[in-house]
Amino acid sequence: MAPSAVTDGFHIVVDALKLNEIDTIYGVAGIPITDLARLAQAEGMRYFGFRHEQSAGYAAGIAGYLTRKPGICLTVSAPGFLNGMVALANATVNGFPMIQISGSSDRAIVDLQQGDYEELDQMNAAKPYTKAAFRVNRPQDIGTGVARAIRAALSGRPGGVYLDLTADVLSATLEADAAAQSLVKVVDPAPRHIPSSESVQRAIRLLAGAERPLIILGKGAAYSQADNEIRKWIETTGVPFLPMSMAKGLLPDNHPQSAAAARSFVLGQADVVMLIGARLNWLLAHGKGPQWSPTAKFVQVDIEATEIDSNRPIAAPIVADIGSAMSCLLEAAKPGQIKPSAAWLDAIAKRKQQNAERMRAHLDANPVPMNFYSALRAIRDVLADRPDIYVVNEGANTLDFGRNIIDMHAPRRRLDSGTWGVMGIGMGYAIGAAVVSGKPVVAIEGDSALGFSGMEIETICRYRLPIVIAVFNNGGIYRGDDINRGGGADPAPTVLMKEARYDKLIEAFGGAGYHVTAPENLQQALSEALASGKPALINCVIDPKAGTESGHIQKLNPKSSLSKS
Ligand code: ADP
Ligand code: TPW
Ligand code: MG
C-alpha cells in the first residue's frame, strides 16, 4: 500500500485562510512563523512585511474595517506578539474585525516558566484586550481555530481576535485527507440582525413627535456599508445629520442636510437624537453635560445590545444591523410622518452660515509661517476633485483641524486616530488602505504622530505604494515653542526638532521628498506627488506657535501650577 500523503500545520493554516477567502497577511517574520509567511506567499496570498508589528496590526485592522473581512496580522512569539497587541486592542475598541495570529513557544516549558526562547503565556495575556482568544494545540484543530476566530471577529460588533499557534502545531504533520476534512468554511459569519417591529415603531413615534431631530452617524454606520439605505433614510425624513469623524463622507460633507458646521448648536438644541452606529462615549461628552440638552431623548441603532443605556437612558433602542434597521424604518415610516420643524432647519442654516464665514476668514489668511488653516486649505483644494483618495489623519491640532477642514465626499475614505485617540496608526492605516483599495492615500500627520510609525516609510517604498505623507512640522507635540521650566539646556517635554527634514527620510528609500514653507508650494508638491503615483513625503513647515495644547480636548488635560502661570 502506498503511504498516504502528509501535510503539516503550516500548510493547514494557509489552506484554512484561503478556504475562507482571506488573501492578505500583514506581519513581521521570525521564529516560528517565517515559513508560514513564505508558504502563504508561495500559495498566492499577499504578504506585507513590516518593520514593527504594531504597524502591521494597524494595517490589518483598517483592512478589516474597509473590507468587512478580518485583517490578518502575523507575529512572532512574546515581544512580537506584544508589539502587535496594541493594534489588536485598538481594533477591539474601534470595532474593526482583525485576527492576530501569533506563533508561540513550547507550552510545557511556558507553563512551568522554565525560560523558553521568547516565553510568554500569550493567549492569557491577550484575553483582556480582545473580543476572543483561542489557542490551537493539535494540527487537526487548526481549521476549527481559524473558523472560530473569523466568526468571533466578524459577528455582532466586530473586534480583535487572538489566535495562538504553537510552534509544535505548525510543524506537526497530519495525513492530507484528514487535514482537508478538518477545514471549516465559515457560513454567514455576520448574519443580518433584523430589528423587532416594536422597536422600529417606537423609534418612529419618538422621531415623529420631534421638532428638532438630529441624526448622528458613527463609524459603525460607515462599517455597515448600508450607504444607500442610510442616505435614503436621511433624505426622506429630512432630518439634519452630524457625521462622527470616520463617518464623514457617508453622505458628502457639502450635503445640504449636514449640520457639521453647526455641531455645538445642534447637540445643544436637538430634542430627539438618533444615533446610528455611534457610541455616546467621550467623543460625544457621554451624551451629558453642558453640550447637550438635558431633556433630549435618544433613538439608538446598534448591533450590540449592551451598548444601549451605557451613558444616558435610551428611549428607543433598535438592536439590529444597520442595513436591516434602515430598511425596516424606511418601510414602516409613513410619508411626512417625521418632519423637522422649519424653524429648526432655518436656525441650523443660519448657524452654519455664520460659522462658515468665520472659518473662511481663517482659511483665506496667508500667515508666514504657515499655520494649520492655510496648510490644510492647500491640501483641501487638491483633494476637492479626488473623492476616491483615502485620507489618514493623526496628531492633535493636525487631527482636529484636519477633520474640520478636509471635506469628505465618499464613504469610508477618512481614517484617523479613532476611539482611543491613538498616535501611531498613520503608516499602518495608510498601507492597509492602499493595499485593499489600490487607490492613493494622503496621510496628514503631526510631526510627533509620524514618529510612532515613521520607519514604515521604508515599507511604503519597498512595496511602491501610492502614499503621500504630509508632515505638519510645528516642532513638537501640540506646539514647538515650549521651554524647559527648570531653565536647563534639555528641550521641554513637548518639543521636537523644528529643523527636522522629514523629507530626507523618504529620500533614503528612493521616494520623493519635498520641503515646503508656503501653501502654494504645498499644493503643487501634493499635486505632483499624487500624479506620480509614487511614495512621497512633504515636510510642511508650520508655525511652532500655531497649535493649542491637546488640540480640541484641552478640557481633558489636568494641569499643574506650571501651566497656570
Ligand atoms: P464613532 O466613534 O464614529 O462615534 P463608535 O465606534 O463609537 O463610532 O460606534 C460604532 C458603533 O456601531 C458600535 O457601538 C458598534 O457596536 C456599532 N456597529 C458596528 N457595526 C454595526 C452594524 N453593522 N450594525 C449596527 N451597529 C454596528
Ligand atoms: C500611543 C498622547 C496625543 S496627541 C500627541 C501625543 C503624543 C501628538 C501631538 O503632536 P503632533 O500634532 O502629532 O505633532 P500637533 O499638530 O498637535 O503638533 N501615545 C499614544 N497616543 C497618544 N494619544 C499619546 C501618546 C498624544
Ligand atoms: Mg506637532
Instruction: Over range 116-134, report the average pLDDT.
Output: 96
The average confidence (pLDDT) of the chain is: 97
C-alpha cell at 456: 514604515
C-alpha cell at 230: 442610510
Give DSSP secondary structure letters for 332-365.
Answer: HSPTTSS---HHHHHHHHHHHHHHHHHHHHHHH-
Residue ending a domain, among 148, 182, 216, is: 182
The minimum-distance atom of ligand 2 relative to the CA of 547 is: 17
**Ligand approaching nearest to the C-alpha of 420:** 2
> Are residue 22 and residue 131 in the same domain, yes or no?
yes
> Is residue 313 in some structural domain?
yes
pLDDT in tens, 160-206: 999 999 999 999 999 999 999 999 999 999 999 999 999 999 999 99
> Is residue 188 in some structural domain?
no
> Are residue 154 and residue 10 in the same domain, yes or no?
yes
**CA 368 / ligand 3 centre spacing (Å):** 17
> Are residue 254 and residue 148 in the same domain, yes or no?
no
Question: Under a CB-based contact definition with an 8 Å cutoff, are residues 464 and 534 in contact?
Answer: yes
**CA 478 / ligand 2 centre spacing (Å):** 7
Check which CATH number belongs to the domain holding 78 and give it: 3.40.50.970
Instruction: Over range 553-557, report the average pLDDT.
Output: 88
Identify the CA nearest to 226 among candidates 97, 99, 328.
Answer: 328
Mutate to test the pocket of ligand 2, among 423, 481, 498, 557 (most ligand atoms within 8 A of CB): 423
User: Is residue 453 within 6 Å of ligand 2 at its C-beta?
Assistant: no
> Is residue 564 in some structural domain?
no
Residue 225 scores a pLDDT above 60: yes
pLDDT in tens, 34-43: 999 999 999 9
Mutate to test the pocket of ligand 1, among 217, 223, 241, 319 (most ligand atoms within 8 A of CB): 223
Number of domains in the chain: 3
Alpha-carbon span 118 to 77, nearest angstrom: 6
Alpha-carbon span 77 to 36, nearest angstrom: 14
pLDDT, residue 3, reads 66
Please state, in angstroms and as integers, the Cα–Cα distance from residue 233 to each residue in 217, 237, 327, 341, following that order: 12, 6, 8, 17
Residue ending a domain, among 129, 150, 182, is: 182
Instruction: Over range 97-103, report the average pLDDT.
Output: 98
> Is residue 122 in some structural domain?
yes
Residue ending a domain, among 153, 182, 211, is: 182
Instruction: Over range 317-327, report the average pLDDT.
Output: 98
Alpha-carbon span 378 to 390, nearest angstrom: 16
C-alpha cell at 407: 471635506
CB contact burial 314-331 (16+ within 10 A = b; e otherwise): bbbbbbbbbbbbbbbbee
Question: Under a CB-based contact definition with an 8 Å cutoff, are residues 441 and 466 in contact?
Answer: yes
Which residues keep their CB under 5 angstroms from ion ligand 3?
446-448, 474
Instruction: Over range 421-433, report the average pLDDT.
Output: 98
Question: Under a CB-based contact definition with an 8 Å cutoff, are residues 512 and 360 in contact?
Answer: no
Question: Distance between the two ends of the chain, CA-based, in angstroms?
Answer: 88
Q: What are phi and psi of 169, to 5 degrees?
A: -65, -40
> Are residue 305 and residue 372 in the same domain, yes or no?
no
> Is residue 315 in some structural domain?
yes
Nearest CA to ligand 2 atom 4: 396
User: Is residue 244 within 6 Å of ligand 1 at its C-beta?
Assistant: yes
The pLDDT-based confidence of 565 (bands split at 50, 70, 90) is very low
The minimum-distance atom of ligand 2 relative to the CA of 447 is: 14
> Is residue 360 in some structural domain?
no
**Ligand approaching nearest to the C-alpha of 478:** 2
Check which CATH number belongs to the domain holding 227 and give it: 3.40.50.1220
Question: Under a CB-based contact definition with an 8 Å cutoff, are residues 272 and 206 in contact?
Answer: yes
The minimum-distance atom of ligand 1 relative to the CA of 321 is: 24
Nearest CA to ligand 1 atom 7: 279
Identify the CA nearest to 199 among candidates 320, 359, 97.
Answer: 320
pLDDT, residue 453, reads 98
Domain that holds residue 379: 365-556
> Are residue 517 and residue 374 in the same domain, yes or no?
yes
pLDDT, residue 440, reads 98
> Are residue 178 and residue 201 in the same domain, yes or no?
no
Nearest CA to ligand 1 atom 3: 218
Residue type, 1: M
Q: What is the DSSP letter of 7?
A: E
> Are residue 35 and residue 88 in the same domain, yes or no?
yes
Q: What is the largest CA-CA distance in the chain?
A: 88
> Are residue 520 and residue 543 in the same domain, yes or no?
yes
The minimum-distance atom of ligand 2 relative to the CA of 396 is: 17
Torsion region of 30: left, alpha or beta (phi above 0 gives left; psi -120 to 50 gives alpha): left
User: Is residue 283 within 6 Å of ligand 1 at its C-beta?
Assistant: yes
Mutate to test the pocket of ligand 1, among 94, 155, 322, 417 (most ligand atoms within 8 A of CB): 322
User: Is residue 540 within 6 Å of ligand 2 at its C-beta?
Assistant: no
> Is residue 189 in some structural domain?
no
> Is residue 322 in some structural domain?
yes
Alpha-carbon span 262 to 358, nearest angstrom: 12
Nearest CA to ligand 2 atom 9: 477
**For the whole model, what pTM was predicted?**
0.98
The pLDDT-based confidence of 520 (bands split at 50, 70, 90) is very high
Instruction: Over range 73-102, report the average pLDDT.
Output: 98
User: Is residue 281 within 6 Å of ligand 1 at its C-beta?
Assistant: yes
Question: Under a CB-based contact definition with an 8 Å cutoff, are residues 57 and 89 in contact?
Answer: no
> Are residue 342 and residue 379 in the same domain, yes or no?
no
> Are residue 328 and residue 460 in the same domain, yes or no?
no
Residue type, 32: P
CB contact burial 94-115 (16+ within 10 A = b; e otherwise): bbbbbbbbbbbbebeebeeeee
C-alpha cell at 63: 483592512
> Are residue 13 and residue 84 in the same domain, yes or no?
yes
pLDDT, residue 43, reads 98
Give DSSP secondary structure letters for 230-295.
Answer: HHHHHHHHT--EEE-GGGTTSS-TT-TTB-GGGHHHHHHH-SEEEEES---SGGGGGG-STTS-TT
C-alpha cell at 507: 529620500
| % of the chain surpassing 90 pLDDT | 96
Alpha-carbon span 131 to 109, nearest angstrom: 27
> Are residue 313 and residue 409 in the same domain, yes or no?
no
The cell 503615483 sits on which residue?
A: 533
The minimum-distance atom of ligand 1 relative to the CA of 277 is: 12
**Ligand approaching nearest to the C-alpha of 474:** 3
DSSP, collapsed to helix, strand or coil, labels residue 74 as strand
**CA 88 / ligand 1 centre spacing (Å):** 17
Alpha-carbon span 358 to 368, nearest angstrom: 20
